[in-house]
Chains A and B, each alone.
Chain A
């Protein structure tokens, strides 16, 4: 499958283009009001919400610190790599912190019939590479969105709350016995057409240095309103990224086995 793997429809951005090294800020919003629950999600935890500026968000209620860190870091890494992910913010309500993700509308979730209709297919490969590195165990059909256009369907990454990077101590301690997450459950996934972007994304992440990792970890901890974890998170991130090529290679094989 050499040809398909080696070609990319869109090249990865350079660190300079992305501004890697400059911490991405995740805004804190106040005065966000809830609307109705998001259909077919856990109604007590996931609702539509509107901020004072009129923006429409999906609000995840009362997430524990590890999930907030995971969401924030997943968001920041996607931004670094150029994988489309909806704008994010946190809603602060006294001591309570809720994660906000800008609504992608209209959109729908994964289905096998979309596999070859996704026009940013490289981003699907990059997303799965990020999942392998951040140890996301629940990349299933509901956790990726597709927005329609005349050219096909545009992929958006969402939902990193289960990423085990949110518990950096566990992740560092499990490198030997549980290095990879469960394989993504995306029926109809054609690994051959995304293996190239996965590998390139892994090479890109492998170049992350400790300074960049600290910036990202700092921004994630600040957004998640978690203190005292920045260094541990940076260590976990840079450790995982340093072995990204082998992690992603093994994860690609895992996806092939499942397919």
Chain B
């Protein structure tokens, strides 16, 4: 098969016909893939921070592309697909296509990094949807609970019950794969700190933290399963919110934990 590519353009200004290349769909013997441009436009070129947010949303959604003929259904009016073009047979597809965007380097050097919503914010939104925002808190600070114990590890979210503390880490998959891997490693490391502390610190044993990881939506089930399998040994409980049963179990454990405890141990 002769490999081909189709440029994918972001349309930042409705009605004016402006187009900014943000990547390409490729087709070769390995199948269809989306190659992200290594040099994306600055936020001010795509309508500021809101436009930048939409740009990165569609970039994440384009990762799910499995057809060379059309864009994924979740990609709407912000993106335009270019015509199919051939590429040389003897090249490495991804590297060659990434090279297409090279001329943009000089123009976009020092582009400010896109500020994504934090994992904590995105996980918190899940609980807010279930009206648990009064009970689930962001950014657990262990020194507030255990002033005499040196614990360098915080947690993204937590909920406090009469005798129980839930430390919760969301894993966000709508991000480049490398960031997902880093987040999984970070969660494992944080939980590991608490697991060891649980074993050796009697102060912590008196008020045992339960370590919960939960996965937000992912189109790639294999990747999700693989990432969760690496977090599982460190977590007490792992949930996948794409599964209705898991979702309800996660909500229920938080509800049960906080049921008799007002808004939190520290009166937060």
Contacts and interface: CB of A to CB of B under 8 A. Distances in A.
A111 interface: yes
B60 interface: yes
Contacts of B174: 113
Interface string A95-132: 00000000101111111110111110100000000000
Contacts of A35: 14-17
A38 B15 CA distance: 8
A115 B129 contact: yes
Given A106-B54, A115-B129, A152 B117 contact: yes
Contacts, number: 121
Nearest to A196: B131
A259 B244 contact: yes
Contact of A56 (B15, B51, B126, B216): B15
For the complex of A and B, 6 pairs with smallest distance between CB atoms: A48-B15, A35-B15, A109-B76, A148-B53, A111-B74, A116-B126
Interface stretch (A2-10, A200-208, A220-228): A2-10
B44 interface: no
Interface of B: 11-12, 14-17, 46-47, 49-51, 53-54, 57-58, 60-61, 71, 73-80, 117, 122, 125-126, 128-131, 173-174, 216-217, 219, 241-242, 244, 247-248, 251, 255
Residue among A109, A111, A119 facing the most chain B CB atoms (10 A cut-off): A111
A141 B244 CA distance: 20
Contacts of A40: 71, 75-77, 79-80
Given A40-B79, A188-B242, A190-B129, A109 B74 contact: yes
A108 B60 contact: no
A112 B217 contact: yes
Given A48-B15, A148-B49, 4 more contacts: A36-B16, A39-B77, A106-B53, A108-B77
B129 A121 contact: yes
The prevalent SS among residues of A at the interface is mixed
Contacts of B117: 117, 152
Given A48-B14, A188-B242, A190-B129, A115 B217 contact: yes
A17 interface: no
A109 B77 contact: yes
A105 B131 contact: no
Contacts of B58: 108
A192 B248 contact: yes
Nearest to A103: B14
Contacts of A152: 117, 125
Contacts of B126: 116
B142 to A, nearest CB: 26
30 contacts: A3-B255, A4-B130, A35-B14, A36-B17, A38-B14, A39-B76, A40-B71, A48-B14, A56-B15, A106-B46, A107-B54, A107-B76, A108-B57, A108-B58, A108-B76, A109-B75, A109-B76, A110-B74, A111-B61, A112-B217, A113-B173, A113-B174, A116-B129, A119-B125, A121-B129, A141-B74, A150-B49, A152-B125, A190-B244, A193-B130
